[in-house]
Structure 1
């Protein structure tokens, strides 16, 4: 590969909403909703026409997921038993959209950390699990606000959007079609979570991340070489969200459960863990890397049990917190941003020559791996 067309990660950025919801707060809200629902439908429940809803608990949430809290853009409305979803006021067309707002904040931090001026960036990819509109692209709005004279487009591969975006950006670098590309992932997941579903009401949190992928020839000295990337998709209905512009006008609207996040969690666990572990090992072998020598795994932050098993299959032993750090406990599942948060917060202590992997997996199924090595 021509050295002038070698992609690297120059910097990352992170925006964290200031409001936090603990498991205890979430359980109090959910259980009050359950109490009201069961009281309202007491007669139907008594004769067996409608099942009673079961309450949630802090112990259930932490055992099922490892999550202890999450950040959201609208705490009050999520915790209101009469609402239980974020109420984000619509903005006029000449106002900055909420996704662009949080995305721009993360992007500016990445640019600042790399010492990069917006005018030196060629493209913006907005890679996220749900977009707040069909067009204009969120990426183009972010590009406009930052003052980038280039191009941008949106891409959605659910929880793997960021890693798919990184490979896409790296391919632009390798082909010589760009020298600097921002991959921005504004994940306002609270908007497509069913906060009234006991099995999933605790899963998601809001955040925004940014990854600056650049030609090594212009990157700062403190960067990460991209050794290789691998993407994989396998169709599955086990994680699904049916909301979209083709059904928005249906009489039932977005209030139906399948217009929000739904999943068959046990099936996802059983099918995704071996698929992702095998993908990592096979790609490491192709790159001439002993997977057991990986210094750190920045895995998708969806479920603590899944990450533990994947890391064990890759490393050949139970991974320590140092080898496979988690941000799931305080951020919850932030879709495509999760592995990027882990990388952003837990990569500064590595030294030149250390090798690791950024990995995501989610609906699709989709999975992405980005093998990186600290430059020196």
Structure 2
């Protein structure tokens, strides 16, 4: 017993920042951003909190699934940008939804949603839950150095969620971590102690682009091939691939190295939303589900990579 996805939901803030607007804030241009990253615009919070977005996406997922908050047995939250360290995002979502189940957060950076699915699968396999919610929400605009053109053009804000029920649709998974902060780092601001003598980096995203690119492409290709083999499916049988929306060049290169899967099956929305970290996969999954790109019985492959360095992939039968 694993699970099946009963419904999906997503939320994007109303405020949109285009490349042209960004070029008036920092030394960049639409041409530079489009060529290097593939983003044309991104949504950013003005009054919405991380919890607000998560709760909105979760409510839409519950509505899609036809499930009430009172039926949930577990809430898992994935985020690197929760409003507070404690209580965690999942706890705050539980409160907003009016649910009464255990809730806790996962910090696995961009693959966080996929790590959450794997954790949920463990609860289902033990028979301790019947319905669960996995929600990812990221307010990356609060973690960006808006004077650094190499990072501020990439990220956006948003949330996505999935309601899970008992079933056998979670067919295969792959999780990896190679610990270290030398490639991607988001330091926390532990500056209150008058006794701590170590200088700390600025609390924002620090990323080495070339190293991230190499890790991302290699991990995505290897992880997708691994989960396809585990699930016993061919590239022709894959209906859609939901790749992490970090960089269009990364997605295109991974697709090129996976010729067994038709390139058009790799879905993208990075042009409109940017990199929303762990919310990337559920936002795109919700869009694909609601637009009819995924049909019952379809094989859906999801793959993500990010800080940790971590990567993950899975195969789900819709």
Which residue among 78, 87, 97 is the counterpart of 1:127? 78
2:280 paired with 1:333: no
Q: CA deviation at 1:292?
A: 4.5
Which residue among 167, 188, 200 is the counterpart of 2:118? 167
SS of 2:25 mapped into structure 1: helix
Aligned to 2:21: 25
2:51 paired with 1:64: no
2:238 paired with 1:294: yes
CA RMSD of aligned residues (A): 2.2
Q: Is residue 158–residue 335 contact of structure 1 (8 Å, CA) maintained in 2?
A: yes
Distance 1:248 1:211 in 2: 37
SS of 1:340 mapped into structure 2: helix
Q: Is residue 232–residue 367 contact of structure 1 (8 Å, CA) maintained in 2?
A: yes
Q: What do residues 183-233 of structure 1 show as CA deviations (whole Å, max 9, x unaligned)?
A: 1111101000111102112011111111112213xxxxxxx9221222111
Aligned to 2:248: 304
2:313 paired with 1:362: no
Q: Is residue 238–residue 261 contact of structure 2 (8 Å, CA) maintained in 1?
A: no
Q: Which structure has the greater CA radius of gyration?
A: 1
Which residue among 164, 169, 174 is the counterpart of 1:230? 174
Aligned to 1:37: none
Q: CA deviation at 1:164?
A: 0.6
CA 1:328–1:203 in 2, change beyond 3 Å: closer, same or farther? same
SS of 1:135 mapped into structure 2: coil
Distance 1:155 1:189 in 2: 16
SS of 2:249 mapped into structure 1: helix
Identify the range of structure 1 (139-148 vs 296-305) with the bigger mean alpha-carbon deviation. Answer: 139-148
- The 5-angstrom pairing of residues 107-256 of structure 1 reads 107-216=58-167, 225-236=169-180, 237-244=182-189, 246-247=190-191
CA 1:240–1:292 in 2, change beyond 3 Å: closer, same or farther? farther
Which residue among 343, 352, 360 is the counterpart of 2:285? 343
Q: Is residue 130–residue 156 contact of structure 1 (8 Å, CA) maintained in 2?
A: no
2:17 paired with 1:13: no
SS of 2:308 mapped into structure 1: coil
TM-score of the two chains, using structure 2 as the length reference: 0.92
Q: Is residue 139–residue 152 contact of structure 1 (8 Å, CA) maintained in 2?
A: yes
Q: Which has the higher contact order (CA 8 A, sep 6+)?
A: 2
Distance 1:249 1:190 in 2: 27
Q: Is residue 154–residue 275 contact of structure 2 (8 Å, CA) maintained in 1?
A: yes
Q: CA deviation at 1:112?
A: 0.5
CA 1:143–1:363 in 2, change beyond 3 Å: closer, same or farther? same
- The 5-angstrom pairing of residues 47-86 of structure 1 reads 55-74=27-46
Aligned to 1:268: 212
SS of 2:8 mapped into structure 1: strand
Unaligned runs of 5+ in 2: none
Which residue among 37, 57, 80 is the counterpart of 1:106? 57
Distance 1:157 1:286 in 2: 23
Distance 2:233 2:202 in 1: 42
